[in-house]
Structure formats: C-alpha cells, structure tokens
Amino acid sequence: MRIESVTPIFVDRYLFVEIRTDTGLVGLGESGAWGFQEGTAATVERFAEYLVGQDPLKIEHHWQYLYRWTHFRGSVVMGAVSAIDIALWDIAGKHFETPVHQLLGGKVRDRARVYYHVFGETTDELCEGIAAARGEGYTAVGHLTPFVDAPRDESYFETHVRKIENAAASVARYREVAGTDVDLCIEIHRRLAPYEAVQLGLAIQEYTPLFLEDPVLPDNIDEMAYVASKINIPIATGERYTSHWEFQMLLARGGAQMVRPDVCLVGGITGARKIAAIAEASHVGVVPHNPLSPVSTAACLQIAATAPNFVLQEFPNETWGSAGDMRPDPAKLVTGAALHDGEGFVHISDEPGIGVALQADAEQRYPYRKRQILTRLHVDGSVVDQ
C-alpha cells in the first residue's frame, strides 16, 4: 500500500487533509493552527512531496522525518504534521479494520465526559448558557470566562480592583446557577499578569472550579508554575504548545495539574498520546483542547479512549462564539460525528479509523471563510490579550 495523494481542503473556517492510497483507502485529518490555515496548507503541500509513494503505515517514521527535516518548528509546521498524522492513523485503522484506539492498546472507557462551550457578552448571558447546558444534561461547562466575551473592536479599560472583584463576583454567580451538578471550567484566555492571576485564584477558589485555564501567557513556563504554587485551583494549560517536549518542561516545573494538548497541533494522535503518557507519570489529568470540527473531536476521542488519566473533553457548541455566527452542521459536514448522550458524555465510536469521513459536498456547502486579523486594544492604544 502506497500514498497516492495528500490534499489540503478548506471548509468554512476549518482546514482538513485527505490522504489517499493506491488501495482506495482515504484518511482524514485536521489542522489546529486555525489562525494560519493558508500557511499550513502550503506546508502540507510541501510535505506531500515526501509522502507520495510512501507506505502510510510507517506513521512514527513519517512523524520523525517531517518534524526533523528542516529543523524549524512552530504552529504552522506542527498543524501540518498533526493533520497528516491523524489522517495516517485513520488509514491504519481502516487498513486493519479496527478503530484507532484499538491500535493504541484498546479502550479504558466506553464514554468520554464532555464540557459544553458557553459564550456571552454579559454575565447574564453566560449564566443563561450555564443553565441551558445543565438543562441539556451536561455536567461541566467551559470556555467560561469571568471577563465575558466582549467584542474585540471595543477598547478596554478597568481599574485593578474592578477587574479582580467583578471577575470573582461573576464566578460566584456561575456557581450559583450551576449548583453542584455542574463543574465550572474557568477560562482566562491568558489575560492576566502572574500577580493578578494569583489574586483572582485566591478570590474564587471557594467556588471550587474544576480548573483555571491559561491564567497567564504560556510563553514563560516558570510564570505558570508560580501561579500554580500560590493557589488551590488546578491549573490547565497547553493549548498553544506544539510538542510533547514543551509539556515535559511544564510538568517538570509543576506548572499544571491538567494538560490541554490540541491533537491537531501537537503532532496529531502520535504527539498527543505521548503527552498523555508523560502526564500520567506525574498524576496529571488530560483535557484535550478542541475548538474545531467533529474531525478534531473524533481524533481527541482516541486519546480519551486510551488514556487512563483522561478527565474531560472539550465539545464545541453550534456557534463560533457570536450570535448568528454558526458552525457547520456536524451531520452535514461529516459522517459519524460524535453526539452528546444527554448525560454529559459522548460515546466513543468503534468504527474503523477515527470513525468520521468528510461529506462529499462539504467543501461546496460550506465555502472557506478566512479569519479576520483583529485583536483587542486598551484605551491607551496598547494590545490586550483576550
């Protein structure tokens, strides 16, 4: 069996990769470098120059070859490696007529607990989202920021005291709405300096969040470790990391109690499985990052199925975060999309490969939408992380 073609496919805001073999098998993967889809697609096409004619089952060898070829790293390169790796695992599962998780050692669970995305430009809207998720049977909500999802074209200013006290008051309201039936995954989106993150963490730990995600920028691992050492809330981070080596350094410094590898960015299923194993050795939980499509979800579920230390799976809702900005209907985008079971879980598919396939008309039904370059500014004109 040999690879015949490697094709990047733009659909809505997603970038998929299809790999076809001379036996007729087709593997499907997805890139997680969502801000740089065009660059990632060009990298996939360069990698195709090597991959065409190769044995698709030599997955680890191809991973090492592509990763170490030019000595350059980063999100564009690793988004391409990840999409290719997922597609190769998909082919392997179909070739052996078994789900990928069986090739990874078999399932340790049949269902994966998920958390639902909650968006809102006001605290009231976020509380309504928590109540709606609870009503639908979810036992965890995430993407839940105490700073609300204000439009990026609005300038920002708050005094320090308002910033911390208003955020803490919002988390108190979230807990009131959620009760003890729903876990809160508090998302900071790297908006705080280390001293601010410690103050906020101390102020909200009485509301028992499941984790505090990305309280500070991930660029300095020691800063994340500093915050983790000062508060009594588990730190979750890692969605911007692009290799298992970064996660090893993070855990060696005690910088997280839950890791958030993006399967579509850290080297695919190959990279994410290694991260899960590194985390297991430190008794650290795994919460795969997944703001993408049902293809990403299907790939993540292979990790959820096989990692003993899996905690929770991010499960996007029907919007991109703004009212009316709808994601593609999962059933019209792919076959085999994972569905919420009404009890806070999704079933882990036993279909060969990763269990999903792109619908034939997906590219025409959902034309590509390029992301606008837009970041928020402070009232003084400087850049704000959001």
> Per-domain residue ranges for the chain?
3-98, 102-350
Supply the pLDDT for residue 148.
80
Tell me the pLDDT tens digit for each residue of 266-324.
999 999 999 999 999 999 999 999 999 999 999 999 999 999 999 999 999 898 887 77
Confidence of residue 152 (pLDDT cuts 50, 70, 90): confident
**Is 61 in the active site?**
no
CATH number for the 102-350 domain, one of 3.20.20.120, 3.40.50.920, 3.40.50.1580, 3.40.80.10? 3.20.20.120
The mean pLDDT value of the chain amounts to 96
Maximal CA-CA distance, the chain: 64
The residue from 95, 117, 244, 289 that is catalytic is 289
3-98 and 102-350 in the same fold: no
The average pLDDT across 229-254 equals 97
Confidence of residue 153 (pLDDT cuts 50, 70, 90): confident
> Residue 295 burial by CB count (10 A; 0-12/13-18/19+): exposed, middle or buried?
buried
Confidence of residue 151 (pLDDT cuts 50, 70, 90): confident
**Is 244 in the active site?**
no
Supply the pLDDT for residue 157.
92
The residue from 117, 189, 340, 378 that is catalytic is 189
Tell me the pLDDT tens digit for each residue of 359-382.
999 999 999 999 899 999 999 999
Supply the pLDDT for residue 144.
93
Confidence of residue 121 (pLDDT cuts 50, 70, 90): confident
- Is the confidence at residue 92, as pLDDT, over 90? yes
Supply the pLDDT for residue 149.
77
What percentage of the chain carries pLDDT values higher than 70? 100
- Is the confidence at residue 386, as pLDDT, over 90? no
Confidence of residue 150 (pLDDT cuts 50, 70, 90): confident
Superfamily of domain 3-98: Enolase-like, N-terminal domain (3.30.390.10)
